[in-house]
Structure 1
Amino acid sequence: MPSPPSPVLATARQVADPHHVRAALRVTTTDATVAAALRCGAAVGLTLAASAAAGRTDLAGFAALGALASLYGRYDPYRRRAAVLAGAGGLLVVAFVLTAALTAAGAPLAVALGAVALLSGTATVLCVLVRTGPPGATIVVFAAAGGIAGPVGWHDVLERGLAGAAGAAIAWSVCMSGYLVRPSAPARLAVRRAADALRRADDVRAASDGDPAAADAVEAAYRAVAHARTVLADDLSHRRTRDTALVLTAELAVVAGPADALPARRNLRDTARATWPSAGWRLTGVRVVLAGLASGAVALVAGFGHPAWAQMGSTATLQGTTTHHAVVRALQRGAGTALGALVAWPLLSAHLSFAATAVVVVGLQVVTEVVVGRHYGLAMLTITPMALLMTSLGGAGDPSGMALSRALDTVLGAALGVLAVVVVHPRRAGRAAG
């Protein structure tokens, strides 16, 4: 009896499947993105405005970096969102301060890149354990990369770190402001999405019985209902939202059918404890660290301008939960960034004023959040110029060369992220295959 193929060969065959290219071109549907996009745009815009009002436009890019905490917890119930935003903001600031401190201390760039790789793995594990969802650890690596760019003194570490913390605080305030007027809005959205998902599953199942699309639709409906039940459990445990949660629970039971009692509310620590026994986060963390070390080393040896951006590319690729997801993300991020660099090039070469740059950054941020759930590659057309303009606000590097460097580093990182999926497997799987 022939022995089964090794995990490396089996995964390599999966990576080479041409279906990934078709999947990378597919646009999905999503809803309720405008409010989240406006919150993110408002957080970044207010941060840039505050920097200008304080007369410290040189710190605006670092403050806006902290404001990217607004990307997390978009649809979480407010008490969980408060904890996720605080944790994400703190992690962004810590990542920046750590690499900036290494730079200020005169550490070799290779040492700083090693720290970025470890940060990327740690942030990935934390995001998986507490189930933050997108964007995962990618933004943390962006923050860490900010600490490496340009000459940094100890005074800069303090000022820029405080600016990042102020930006994170503004993001927290903006994203939590809805609690004052509509505290049950996340639960209403979750129940509506569950009802819509169930309706789509019924339609697909009736139209194509036995088709794989029907199974996918049923699985999506199951996840939507489970998420709604989790959100309702959170709201039921709080006095201000309890009455509305009871009504919404009854509405969910009508469309989803009777079910057992709602699960107990879990805070972030409870979620991490529940996720801990699963082995997936360990493998993902190892892959992210190894890919980060490899991409940073190759970019450094090749003389690329921003090796940490290659690490960001590999980290973003490995936020995918499956081989298929990772390959699709790599294709979308690599191609999208290359095209996005062409968009960024004239914007960087125009040397826009601070006010004009701020307006463009906020506009790109809003468009990104509307598009990213529909197609990650299309979103890179706005993410790339937005990130480069934010970097230019910090005065780091030559704007005329940043676009090309961003494209090259990202493609390298995405490729090495896929390579990590191919070569890094659980030891038990390898032994079983042998």
Structure 2
Amino acid sequence: MTAETEPGFPQRPGLRQVLLEVSGVGERAGGAFRAALAVAIPAAVGLANGHGAAAALSALGAFAVVYGERRPYRTRWKVVAGYGLALISCATVGAGVGHLAGAASVGAWIAVIAMMTAVVVLAAIWVDALRERAPGSFLLLLCAELSAVLVLDGTASSPAVVLWTAIGAVVALGVAMTPALLDRHGPEAQAVTRAGAAVDALARQPHDDLLRRRAIHALHEAWDCLDDAGLRGQAVAPTDALSRIHRRLLAVIAFAEDQKVETSVSEEELDLMVLPRARVGERLRWGLRRPRIPVLALRLTVACVVAGGIAIAVDLGRPDWAVITAAMILHQGPDRVTGSWRALNRCVGTVIGVGVLAVITPVLGSAVLLILTVVVLMAGTEIFLVVNYAIAMVFITPLAMTLGALAPQEPLSEAVIGRIAETVIGVGVAVVTLWCVRPRGYRAVLLDSERRVVDAIEAVEADGPADAGRRRRRLEFELEAATTAVSQAGFSDPAWMLTQWPRHHRLHRQGYALLTKQG
């Protein structure tokens, strides 16, 4: 038995897939338009009122619109408003540190690096425990970093940074909710469509374990979306369509298991299989107790401090760039292989990105063209951020460098060389950290995850209807966590993972059978 021949075993992505895959770009066009609009509206108003290039700082708050994508409008406003407040808080903290640190000096950069480390560690723990979607903690860190640097360099005042961030966040909320005027159930319909496509893919290859997990995950994600929208249990088109997809999934799984195919499932039986989204308190309670959290925090702390320290020691102009490079690679808690690929993406994307900056620099002296550039770069970032990291960096690099100075203040050649050197330091430190700090941490994470799956299965199988919904929600939560753990272990150490695979395979079959009422 080998990793290549074992059905369902996680397979490492190839170089071509990592650098060139762009599946799902079309689905993000609407989000890109909203991201661009969230920057363009306040920037244009600010420009018209004589605020010039400073109006581009609204992009720091406009990042909030990204977090609302794919969520139903009934809860989207809460998410965008919450992240908007988080971005304003990060801008306030960053600008405050920049103000207190005074002019750029070794002591000032140490303070900025300490602030960045604290922000990304706390934000990454929160995002990881809640299992939030991309972009995770990255945009929060970017907001704090740029705010500090803008004030530290004297490019903008602390009140101006906070004010424009707040304006951007408020506009982002309005932009995020505007599509509800045209189709108030658009996100739910799209989630149902994705679930249907995943079940169709499984129907074509019913014995593929990976496709089965994707189909079940997409199904429950769609039910979560309907639940958040308040449509679960109502006789409306999205709910009826998802019920049919759910029944089809049951039939496909029964066929794959050589079981009797149920031609009809009652609404009461189907209702037992549909799990409302776990509450924030539940997800925090289940997520914070994992060994994955201290590993993530330790690696981020070590990498940020070391990368920033090296950049200061060799007297580079922007040590914060080395810190954010390391943090961007590590903030989602990747395994060693995925993290190394991400580091390669960062290098390739940054080199191309600074090339893009070199091309557009001549136009950045005009406030109008600078703002238009930020709008375009913001849209590109939204399209590719969760699709292809290397391409995303082509947009993120000039966006961050442009906002960080509101047009480069140092000579272009020095800026290009400096950012590439700082990127190399950050990438190198991040990769070394992945391979040397808790190098076998994935083993403890996997074994802990599997133990939690066993506990959750036993709880669901226990007699008595009391709190059955919460126990089933926890089982789904633990199965998803274990799926992530097994992928990371399989990528990092296939030989060891193969020794654990039979137990993992058995547990997941048993757990997902309970969730779909099979067996």
TM-score norm. by structure 1 comes to 0.84
- Aligned AA for 1:234? D
Q: Would you say the 8 A contact 1:313–1:414 is kept in 2?
A: yes
Say yes or no: does 1:194 pair with 2:188: no
Question: Which whole-Å CA distance do the structure 1 matches of 2:210 and 2:198 have between them?
Answer: 11
Which structure's relative contact order is higher, taking Cα pairs within 8 Å and 6+ residues apart? 1
User: d(CA) in 1 for partners of 2:236 and 2:133?
Assistant: 28
Match of 1:316 among 328, 340, 343: 328
Q: In the alignment, is residue 231 of structure 1 matched against residue 225 of structure 2?
A: yes
- SS across alignment from 1:365: helix
What's the RMSD between the two structures over aligned residues? 3.1
Question: Structure 1: 5+ residue runs without aligned partners?
Answer: 1-16
Contact conserved, 1:195 with 1:256, CA < 8 A, in 2? no
1:90 pairs with 2:85: yes
Q: How much has 1:189 moved relative to structure 2? A: 0.9
Equivalent position amino acid for 2:174 in 1: S
Cα 1:270–1:429 change in 2 (3 A) is closer
Does residue 221 in structure 1 map to residue 234 in structure 2? no
8 Å Cα contact 1:326/1:418 also seen in 2 = yes
Q: Which position in structure 2 is the counterpart of 1:3?
A: none
Distance 1:309 1:381 in 2: 15
161-170 or 303-312, which deviates more: 303-312
Q: Give the match for residue 168 of structure 1.
A: 169
Q: What is the one-letter code of the residue matched to 1:229?
A: W
Distance 1:362 1:130, change over 3 A: same
Corresponding position of 2:384:
371
- How far, CA to CA, are the matches of 1:397 and 1:266 in structure 2? 48
Which among 243, 248, 251 is matched to residue 250 of structure 1? 243
Aligned amino acid, residue 131 of structure 1: R
How far residue 75 of structure 1 moved from its aligned partner, in angstroms, is: 1.0
**Deviation sequence 1:48-105 (CA, Å, 0-9, x none):** 1122133212432322111111221311222332232222222222222212212212
For 1:191 and 1:322, how far apart are their aligned partners in 2?
A: 31
Structure 2: runs of 5+ lacking an equivalent? 1-10, 251-264, 448-495, 497-519
> Which residue matches 1:69?
64
Q: Distance in 1 between matches of 2:316 and 2:213?
A: 43
The counterpart of 2:338, out of the listed 321, 325, 331, is 325
**Does residue 1:137 correspond to 2:110, yes or no?**
no
Report deviation, 1:171: 0.8
The amino acid of 2:245's aligned partner reads: L
| Partners of 1:123 and 1:397 in 2: CA distance | 31
> Offset at 1:220?
2.3
Matching residue of 1:9: none
Which residue is 2:117 aligned to? 117
Select between 126-135 and 257-266 the one with higher mean Cα deviation: 257-266
TM-fit CA distance, 1:396: 6.8
What code does the residue aligned with 1:421 have?
L
Deviations 1:294-328 (A, max 9, x none): 11111111222211121211111112543332222
Q: Provide the rounded CA distance (Å) in 2 between the counterparts of 1:144 and 1:314.
A: 15
Q: Distance in 2 between matches of 1:270 and 1:339?
A: 43
From 80, 94, 98, give the equivalent of 2:75: 80
Stretch moving more, 274-283 or 41-50: 274-283
> Does 1:423 find its partner at 2:436?
yes
Q: Give the counterpart letter for 1:423 in structure 2.
A: C
| Aligned counterparts of 1:119 and 1:245: Cα–Cα separation in 2 | 39
Corresponding residue of 1:48: 43
Which residue in the other structure is 1:10 paired with?
none
Based on CA coordinates, which of the two structures has the bigger radius of gyration? 2
State the partner residue of 1:276: 288
Q: Distance in 2 between matches of 1:320 and 1:231?
A: 26
Q: Please report how far the alpha carbon of residue 45 of structure 1 lies from its aligned counterpart in structure 2 after TM superposition.
A: 1.2
Amino acid at match of 2:77: A
Whether the 8 Å CA contact 1:130–1:275 is kept in 2: the answer is yes
Supply the distance in 2 between the matched residues of 1:332 and 1:35 (Cα, whole angstroms): 25
- 1:385 matched to 2:398? The reply is yes
2:39 aligned counterpart, secondary structure: helix
Q: Indicate if the aligned counterparts of 1:195 and 1:255 stay in contact, CA closer than 8 A.
A: no
Letter in 2 for 1:179: A
Q: Distance in 2 between matches of 1:163 and 1:180?
A: 27
**In 1, Cα distance between equivalents of 2:28 and 2:150:** 36
Instruction: Output one character per residue of 1:344-377: Cα deviation in whole Å (capped at 9) or x when no partner.
Output: 1121244441111222222232233333443221
| TM-score, scaled to structure 2 | 0.71
Could you tell me which amino acid in structure 1 is paired with residue 92 of structure 2?
Answer: V
